[in-house]
Homo-oligomer: A and B are copies of this chain.
Amino acid sequence: MPRSKAQTAALLASPDDVEAQFYEALQQADLDKLMAVWSDDDEIACVHPGGPRLVGAAEIRASFEAIFANGAIPLQPQRVRRLLSLGCAVHHVVERVTLADDKGERSAWVLATNVYLKTAQGWRLVAHHASPAGDLAEPASGEAPSTLH
């Protein structure tokens, strides 16, 4: 039986709880579970790797529905850096995505910034900005940046 939004909400007591549910939902292609982690704010926003800016629950839901039509995302969140203040948490996550093709499995890395706010309903996601980090095995902090800016 699918969980109601209220039942799911009870589990989201910290930014880490919200983040865990977000990545579980991606791994399970569970659209309702995924949407339950977002705030009700009209200005929630999402940028998929290489994609446009999506604002609001309707656009975000439609984008994940299209993605999940191709199946779950074999993704592992790694090396999370956390900045926590009163009522706001900013997490920077290295997402390891496993890609399979004729030559076998290989990994791609994505850098994601996730912003959580404490709302009347508990902690919720308000922004997810993800971008490709290239094929680096270890995209270490301290590498030279690109020059665009």
Q: A residues bordering B, Cβ < 8 Å?
A: 26, 41, 43-45, 47-55, 59, 63, 66-67, 70, 73, 75, 81-83, 85-88, 90, 92, 94-95, 97, 108, 110-111, 113, 115, 117, 126-127, 129-134, 136, 139-149
Copies of this chain? 2
Contact partner, A132, options B88, B140, B148, Cβ 8 Å = B148
Structural contact, A111 and B92, CB atoms closer than 8 A: no
A62 smallest CB distance to B (angstroms)? 8
CB-CB under 8 A from A54, the residues of chain B are 141-142, 145
| CB-CB under 8 A for A83 and B145, given A92-B53, A92-B55, A126-B90 | no
Structural contact, A126 and B83, CB atoms closer than 8 A: yes
Structural contact, A146 and B45, CB atoms closer than 8 A: no
